[in-house]
Amino acid sequence: MKTPKILIVPGSNRSGSHNVRLAGTIAKHLSRLECEVARISLADYPMPIYDGDLEGQKGQPENARKLARLFHEHDGIVLVSPEYNTSLTPLMKNMIDWISRVGSDQHGKLVPYRSKIFAIASASPGGYGGIRSLNHLRAILVNVGALVLSEQLAVANAENAFDEMDELTDKRASGFLDAMARSLVEKSAAFSARG
Protein backbone atom coordinates (compact mmCIF):
# COMPACT_ATOMS: atom_id res chain seq x y z
CA MET A 1 0.00 0.00 0.00
CA LYS A 2 1.39 3.43 -0.89
CA THR A 3 2.19 6.01 1.75
CA PRO A 4 -0.72 8.47 1.94
CA LYS A 5 -0.18 12.20 1.59
CA ILE A 6 -1.96 14.25 4.25
CA LEU A 7 -2.61 18.01 4.07
CA ILE A 8 -3.38 20.07 7.19
CA VAL A 9 -5.25 23.38 6.85
CA PRO A 10 -6.00 25.60 9.87
CA GLY A 11 -9.02 27.86 9.39
CA SER A 12 -7.45 30.78 11.24
CA ASN A 13 -4.68 33.24 10.40
CA ARG A 14 -4.75 34.92 13.82
CA SER A 15 -1.43 35.14 15.63
CA GLY A 16 -1.57 33.04 18.77
CA SER A 17 -4.47 30.98 17.40
CA HIS A 18 -5.19 27.83 19.41
CA ASN A 19 -6.23 26.16 16.16
CA VAL A 20 -2.97 26.95 14.38
CA ARG A 21 -1.24 25.45 17.40
CA LEU A 22 -3.52 22.41 17.26
CA ALA A 23 -2.72 22.02 13.55
CA GLY A 24 0.96 21.83 14.52
CA THR A 25 0.22 19.23 17.19
CA ILE A 26 -1.74 17.15 14.67
CA ALA A 27 1.09 17.47 12.12
CA LYS A 28 3.62 16.29 14.69
CA HIS A 29 1.42 13.33 15.65
CA LEU A 30 0.82 12.34 12.02
CA SER A 31 4.55 12.55 11.26
CA ARG A 32 5.05 9.61 13.65
CA LEU A 33 2.75 7.47 11.50
CA GLU A 34 3.29 6.11 7.99
CA CYS A 35 2.30 9.14 5.92
CA GLU A 36 3.69 12.28 4.29
CA VAL A 37 2.47 15.44 6.03
CA ALA A 38 2.17 18.97 4.63
CA ARG A 39 0.72 21.98 6.40
CA ILE A 40 -0.31 25.27 4.85
CA SER A 41 -1.54 28.65 6.04
CA LEU A 42 -4.50 30.27 4.33
CA ALA A 43 -2.66 33.58 4.82
CA ASP A 44 -0.58 32.44 1.84
CA TYR A 45 -3.73 32.03 -0.30
CA PRO A 46 -5.77 35.25 0.02
CA MET A 47 -9.06 35.28 -1.88
CA PRO A 48 -12.06 37.61 -2.06
CA ILE A 49 -15.31 36.52 -0.43
CA TYR A 50 -17.06 34.19 -2.85
CA ASP A 51 -19.55 36.00 -5.10
CA GLY A 52 -21.12 34.50 -8.21
CA ASP A 53 -21.07 37.83 -10.06
CA LEU A 54 -17.38 38.29 -9.24
CA GLU A 55 -16.64 34.78 -10.48
CA GLY A 56 -18.62 35.51 -13.66
CA GLN A 57 -16.64 38.69 -14.32
CA LYS A 58 -13.14 37.68 -13.23
CA GLY A 59 -13.21 33.89 -13.05
CA GLN A 60 -11.81 31.90 -10.18
CA PRO A 61 -8.89 33.35 -8.23
CA GLU A 62 -5.52 31.75 -8.92
CA ASN A 63 -5.30 30.85 -5.22
CA ALA A 64 -8.57 28.89 -5.45
CA ARG A 65 -7.03 26.84 -8.26
CA LYS A 66 -3.82 26.35 -6.27
CA LEU A 67 -5.78 25.14 -3.24
CA ALA A 68 -7.96 22.85 -5.37
CA ARG A 69 -4.77 21.37 -6.87
CA LEU A 70 -3.31 20.85 -3.37
CA PHE A 71 -6.48 19.09 -2.19
CA HIS A 72 -6.51 16.99 -5.37
CA GLU A 73 -2.90 15.88 -4.83
CA HIS A 74 -3.44 14.71 -1.24
CA ASP A 75 -5.16 11.54 -0.07
CA GLY A 76 -6.29 12.89 3.29
CA ILE A 77 -7.02 16.40 4.52
CA VAL A 78 -7.30 17.72 8.07
CA LEU A 79 -9.32 20.90 8.51
CA VAL A 80 -8.80 22.61 11.87
CA SER A 81 -11.42 25.30 12.46
CA PRO A 82 -12.08 27.62 15.37
CA GLU A 83 -15.67 28.10 16.44
CA TYR A 84 -17.12 31.52 15.59
CA ASN A 85 -20.67 32.01 16.89
CA THR A 86 -21.25 28.22 16.93
CA SER A 87 -20.02 27.75 13.35
CA LEU A 88 -16.83 27.58 11.32
CA THR A 89 -14.78 30.63 10.42
CA PRO A 90 -15.58 32.74 7.35
CA LEU A 91 -12.01 32.04 6.19
CA MET A 92 -12.63 28.28 6.18
CA LYS A 93 -16.07 28.57 4.56
CA ASN A 94 -14.75 30.88 1.85
CA MET A 95 -11.96 28.42 1.05
CA ILE A 96 -14.44 25.53 0.78
CA ASP A 97 -16.77 27.59 -1.43
CA TRP A 98 -14.07 28.71 -3.86
CA ILE A 99 -12.49 25.26 -4.12
CA SER A 100 -15.90 23.75 -4.88
CA ARG A 101 -16.08 25.96 -7.99
CA VAL A 102 -12.81 24.71 -9.50
CA GLY A 103 -13.28 21.76 -11.85
CA SER A 104 -9.93 21.82 -13.64
CA ASP A 105 -6.68 23.70 -14.11
CA GLN A 106 -3.94 23.73 -16.74
CA HIS A 107 -2.94 20.18 -15.70
CA GLY A 108 -6.42 18.70 -16.16
CA LYS A 109 -9.47 17.71 -14.14
CA LEU A 110 -9.39 18.34 -10.39
CA VAL A 111 -11.19 16.31 -7.75
CA PRO A 112 -10.60 18.26 -4.53
CA TYR A 113 -13.34 16.66 -2.38
CA ARG A 114 -14.66 13.38 -3.77
CA SER A 115 -12.68 10.26 -2.84
CA LYS A 116 -10.70 12.24 -0.27
CA ILE A 117 -10.73 11.38 3.42
CA PHE A 118 -11.27 14.41 5.66
CA ALA A 119 -10.61 14.71 9.38
CA ILE A 120 -11.94 17.68 11.31
CA ALA A 121 -10.67 19.25 14.52
CA SER A 122 -11.18 22.33 16.65
CA ALA A 123 -9.80 23.97 19.77
CA SER A 124 -11.68 26.49 21.87
CA PRO A 125 -11.13 28.29 25.17
CA GLY A 126 -14.64 27.20 26.13
CA GLY A 127 -15.83 23.91 27.52
CA TYR A 128 -17.23 22.55 24.25
CA GLY A 129 -13.94 22.58 22.36
CA GLY A 130 -15.56 23.92 19.19
CA ILE A 131 -17.77 20.86 18.73
CA ARG A 132 -20.64 22.97 17.37
CA SER A 133 -18.45 24.30 14.56
CA LEU A 134 -17.42 20.74 13.70
CA ASN A 135 -21.07 19.78 13.20
CA HIS A 136 -21.45 22.57 10.61
CA LEU A 137 -18.12 21.79 8.98
CA ARG A 138 -19.01 18.11 8.67
CA ALA A 139 -22.37 18.91 7.02
CA ILE A 140 -20.74 21.26 4.49
CA LEU A 141 -18.01 18.77 3.59
CA VAL A 142 -20.48 15.93 3.12
CA ASN A 143 -22.54 18.19 0.86
CA VAL A 144 -19.56 18.81 -1.45
CA GLY A 145 -18.88 15.07 -1.65
CA ALA A 146 -16.11 14.60 0.91
CA LEU A 147 -15.76 11.49 3.03
CA VAL A 148 -15.49 12.71 6.63
CA LEU A 149 -14.16 10.45 9.38
CA SER A 150 -16.45 9.74 12.29
CA GLU A 151 -13.42 10.27 14.55
CA GLN A 152 -12.92 13.97 15.27
CA LEU A 153 -11.09 16.13 17.79
CA ALA A 154 -12.58 18.94 19.88
CA VAL A 155 -10.09 20.39 22.39
CA ALA A 156 -11.74 22.31 25.24
CA ASN A 157 -10.06 24.89 27.51
CA ALA A 158 -7.48 25.45 24.80
CA GLU A 159 -5.38 27.98 26.70
CA ASN A 160 -4.35 25.16 29.08
CA ALA A 161 -4.56 22.26 26.61
CA PHE A 162 -0.92 22.19 25.42
CA ASP A 163 2.35 21.53 27.21
CA GLU A 164 5.68 23.23 26.41
CA MET A 165 6.25 20.67 23.60
CA ASP A 166 2.81 21.45 22.09
CA GLU A 167 1.48 18.02 23.06
CA LEU A 168 -2.06 17.79 24.40
CA THR A 169 -2.12 17.63 28.20
CA ASP A 170 -5.52 15.95 28.50
CA LYS A 171 -5.26 12.15 28.11
CA ARG A 172 -8.78 11.89 26.72
CA ALA A 173 -8.06 14.53 24.03
CA SER A 174 -4.76 12.78 23.25
CA GLY A 175 -6.67 9.54 22.77
CA PHE A 176 -9.10 11.22 20.38
CA LEU A 177 -6.18 12.71 18.44
CA ASP A 178 -4.50 9.32 18.14
CA ALA A 179 -7.70 7.58 17.03
CA MET A 180 -8.42 10.30 14.45
CA ALA A 181 -4.85 10.30 13.10
CA ARG A 182 -4.63 6.52 12.79
CA SER A 183 -8.02 6.29 11.12
CA LEU A 184 -7.09 9.07 8.69
CA VAL A 185 -3.83 7.39 7.65
CA GLU A 186 -5.41 3.95 7.34
CA LYS A 187 -8.44 5.09 5.34
CA SER A 188 -6.46 7.52 3.17
CA ALA A 189 -4.01 4.76 2.27
CA ALA A 190 -6.85 2.36 1.46
CA PHE A 191 -8.68 4.91 -0.69
CA SER A 192 -5.58 6.03 -2.57
CA ALA A 193 -4.77 2.38 -3.36
CA ARG A 194 -8.21 2.00 -4.98
CA GLY A 195 -7.80 4.76 -7.46
CATH code of the domain containing 85: 3.40.50.360
Give me the number of domains the chain comprises.
1
Bridge partners, residue 76, by sequence:
6, 117
Helices (H), 84-170: 90-101, 131-143
Mean pLDDT on 123-136 = 95
pLDDT recorded at residue 192: 78
Mean pLDDT on 124-149 = 96
Structure-model confidence comparison of residues 111 and 153, the more confident one: 153
The string of DSSP codes covering 134-145 is HHHHHHHHHHTT
Helices (H), 102-170: 131-143
Of 73-87, 100-114, 143-157, 159-173, the range with the lowest mean pLDDT is 100-114
pLDDT recorded at residue 191: 84
> Is the pLDDT reported for residue 2 higher than 90?
no
CA distance linking residue 186 with residue 64, whole number of Å: 28
> Is the pLDDT reported for residue 55 higher than 70?
yes
> Is the pLDDT reported for residue 195 higher than 70?
no
Q: At 144, is the pLDDT very low, low, confident or very high (cuts 50, 70, 90)?
A: very high
> Is the pLDDT reported for residue 51 higher than 70?
yes
pLDDT recorded at residue 94: 98
pTM to 2 decimal places: 0.96
- What percent of the chain clears pLDDT 70, i.e. is strictly above it? 98
pLDDT recorded at residue 141: 98
Mean pLDDT on 99-120 = 89
Report the mean per-residue pLDDT for the chain.
95
Q: At 28, is the pLDDT very low, low, confident or very high (cuts 50, 70, 90)?
A: very high
Mean pLDDT on 23-51 = 98
Determine contact, residues 149/180, Cβ cutoff 8 Å: yes
Domain interval for residue 13: 5-194
